Amino acid sequence: MTEFSDLLRDLIDHRRKHPGEGGQGEVLDSLIFGEVDGRRLSEDELIQNCIFLLNAGHETTTSMLGNSVAMLLDHPDQHRNLLAEPALITTAVEEFLRYQSPLQLGNRLASEDVMLSGEKIVAGTYIHLSIAGANRDPDVFDDPENVDLGRTPNRQLSFAGGHHVCLGATLARIEGQVAMGRFVRRFPNVQADGPAELLGLARFRGYTAIPVRV
């Protein structure tokens, strides 16, 4: 984190001296020079937001792609369907996300007393939300343990919801559709070549290795 912060500090200094170098709409430029009610982000806020954006957008997407490959290897019938019908990629990405959500848990802190499904949650209570559980809720999804790349509707919650719904959801969906669509076309004969290794974390679902033969 220290090295990362130093690197960002240099980048921010450079960009301050050369405003506009990143081009219109560039994220770092917007964070440095953007103002709300005349106020800009402090140095600490800038660095933390850069780190947050990179983490939020990088690890999750990496896991989404790895999880998708692993699911295709584990479900050859679904893989064949996708090969035969490339347009399935749109619903396929939603199903990849539903079945193996890169973020399995969410956290909330009740800022006031709330009633939720008949339960009173007292202000100050920490709440752990199971995104993975919600994504396999039998009241919402038919046959939730089954992988169906054509599943519609698919109200998966991998990007959470409400005020803090994932800022990058649209980008992540496009990334999933482009990357997995191309992967399937380019490596139609992909097969497992040894056991895949899960990250083994409760919060993040992803793999450290998925050996394949293409």
Q: Which amino acid is at 174?
A: I
Q: Is 159 in the site for ligand HEM (CB under 6 A)?
A: yes
Candidates 35-43, 59-67, 82-90, 147-155 — which segment interacts with ligand HEM by CB under 6 A? 59-67
Q: Is 123 exposed, middle or buried (0-12, 13-18, 19+ CB in 10 A)?
A: exposed
And the tokens for 17?
Answer: 């001296």
Q: What letter represents residue 114's amino acid?
A: V
Q: Counting contacts by CB under 6 A, is residue 103 touching ligand HEM?
A: yes
Q: Is 60 in the site for ligand HEM (CB under 6 A)?
A: yes
* Orientation angle between helical segments 43-74 and 89-99, nearest 10 degrees: 100
Q: Is the dihedral of CA 8, 10, 11, 16 positive or negative?
A: positive
* Binding residue for ligand HEM, selected from 32, 95, 158, 206, defined by CB under 6 A: 158
Residue 41 lies near ligand HEM (rule: CB under 6 A): no
57 binds ligand HEM (CB under 6 A): yes
Which of 127, 171, 201, 202: binder of ligand HEM (CB under 6 A)?
171
Nearer to ligand HEM, 174 or 209 (CB): 174
Q: Identify which of residues 23 and 118 has a Cβ nearer to ligand HEM in the complex.
A: 23
User: For residue 121, what is the enclosing H or E element?
Assistant: strand 119-121
- Binds ligand HEM by CB under 6 A, chosen from 22, 144, 150, 168: 168
Burial 130-169 (b: 16+ CB within 10 A, else e): ebbebbeeeeebeebeebbbebeebebbbbbeeeeebeee
Residue closer to ligand HEM by CB (options 80, 155) is 155
- Strands 212-213 and 207-209 come out as unpaired
Distance between CA atoms of residues 184 and 84, nearest Å: 10
Binding piece for ligand HEM, criterion CB under 6 A, among 13-21, 72-80, 117-125, 152-160: 152-160
Indicate whether 144 belongs to the interface with ligand HEM (CB under 6 A).
Answer: no
For residue 64, state whether it binds ligand HEM (rule: CB under 6 A): yes
Residues within the interface to ligand HEM (CB under 6 A): 53, 56-57, 60-61, 64, 102-103, 106, 158-160, 164, 166-168, 171-172
